[in-house]
Amino acid sequence: MTAIDREDKFMREITYAEALRETLTAEMRRDETVFLLGEDIGVYNGAFGVTKDMISEFGSARVRETPIAETAYIGAAVGAALMGMRPVAELMFSDFMSVCWDQIMNQAAKAHFMHGGAVQVPLVIRASSGGGTGAAAEHSQSLENLCCHIPGLKVVTPSTPYDAKGLLLSAIRDNNPVIFLEQKKLYQTTGIVPEESYAIPLGLADVKREGSDVSLITYGRMVQMCAMTAEKLRQNGISCEIVDVRSLVPLDIQTIIASVKKTRRCVIVHEASLFSGYGAEIAARIADSEAFYFLDAPIKRVGGSHSPIPFSAALEPAAFPTPARIEAAIRETL
């Protein structure tokens, strides 16, 4: 179903944060093993308002306020998942994964394998990711590549309210640990979202815009950046196709390959540091596929600077891709 089809069928527009809340609410009503835990998610409604008023319906036993102790409550969430619950833990910022990395990479990711498949870890860790809000170096990083490197973790990063609602449902129902990254600049963006519950399968990319001259492979907030660039270039006769990866692990490489074979040019865009970033994996997979023989120009990557994120409002934008930088990369491939 294309974005145009969605607008024809569903005329309700809500925010990204509201879309997440609808899935959390629906899944908690459907399944009593689903519960939330995290800092300020109850009375305070969550740092970005995603869990607004949920404690009123479900109570403090299922919307569990935790101390500022990520190591403790992520460990508790792993244990609850091992015992048959379906916890959804919220890390206020994805940067805080650093203090509970052992629980995530050595416990949650490996338990199913190390116990010979006898246990499952149906755990979702939601975390706000990325910059653009002046939150400075310790609260603005994009760390998806760290998570993607760990076998046993699934990694998802929706770019629209529609995708956020459907992907979160699939993540909660998955029997594996899922890192669910929400770019914090997207929480108040709006989009067409149906009222009923629906699932978007993990491991399925989405062509957000069809084009013929160059493929823009991207995810998260950069989908909007690429869309702005594509619309500008359309007026100059340049047709950009935008592939939203959405699910980093598992990766839908076939949709990416099909797009590159069609357009014969490729620009990969992500907010995280360009050095050793996820775009390098995509570029390598393209180069190692039949799409390589269709390329009319080298693969280009556009990413963040390999530096701490500045707090300064004047400096922070320079740390991330911009429509101008994306356009320059596209013109180079042409």
**pLDDT tens digits along 195-252:** 999 999 999 999 999 999 999 999 999 999 999 999 999 999 999 999 999 999 999 9
Q: How confident is the model at residue 156 (pLDDT cuts 50, 70, 90)?
A: very high
CATH top-level class for 206-333?
alpha beta
What's the length of the chain? 334
Q: How confident is the model at residue 132 (pLDDT cuts 50, 70, 90)?
A: confident
Active site residue 115: no
Specify the CATH architecture of the domain 3-192. 3-Layer(aba) Sandwich (3.40)
Distances (CA, A) of 244 to 2, 98, 261, 266, 284: 13, 27, 16, 13, 18
Which among 39, 70, 182, 327 is annotated as catalytic?
70
- 298: exposed, middle or buried (Cβ count in 10 Å: 0-12, 13-18, 19+): exposed
| Helices 323-333 and 222-234, packing angle to 10 deg | 60
Domain boundaries, the chain: 3-192, 206-333
Query: What are 215's strand-pairing partners?
Result: 241, 266
Work out the mean pLDDT of the chain and round it to a whole number.
95
pLDDT digits (tens, 9 = 90+) for 237-277: 999 999 999 999 999 999 999 999 999 999 999 999 999 99
d(CA 216, CA 64): 41
Residue among 266, 255, 259 nearest 299 (CA): 266
Query: Do 3-192 and 206-333 have matching folds?
Result: yes
Does 3 have pLDDT greater than 70? no
Question: Tokens for 45?
Answer: 């409604």
What pLDDT is recorded for position 2?
Answer: 47
Residue 322 burial (CB count, 10 A)? 14
What pLDDT is recorded for position 9?
Answer: 54
d(CA 20, CA 283): 31
d(CA 78, CA 153): 13
What pLDDT is recorded for position 47?
Answer: 92
Q: Tell me which amino acid residue 75 is.
A: G
Side-chain-side CA neighbours of residue 251 (13 Å): 18
Strand (E) or helix (H) holding 324: helix 323-333
The DSSP secondary structure of 117-171, one letter per residue, reads: TS-----EEEEEE--SSS--TTS----HHHHHTSTT-EEE---SHHHHHHHHHHH
Collapsed DSSP state (helix, strand, coil) of residue 100: helix
Does 10 have pLDDT greater than 90? no
Does 49 have pLDDT greater than 50? yes
Active site residue 139: yes
Which among 22, 90, 139, 281 is annotated as catalytic?
139
What pLDDT is recorded for position 275?
Answer: 96
Distances (CA, A) of 103 to 68, 83, 268, 299: 16, 16, 32, 37
Q: How confident is the model at residue 4 (pLDDT cuts 50, 70, 90)?
A: very low
Question: Tokens for 104?
Answer: 């995530």
Q: Please work out, in degrees rounded to the nearest 5, the angle formed at the alpha carbon of residue 145 by the alpha carbons of 185 and 25.
A: 50
pLDDT digits (tens, 9 = 90+) for 76-124: 999 999 999 999 999 999 999 999 999 999 999 999 999 999 999 999 9
Question: Tokens for 283?
Answer: 């570029």
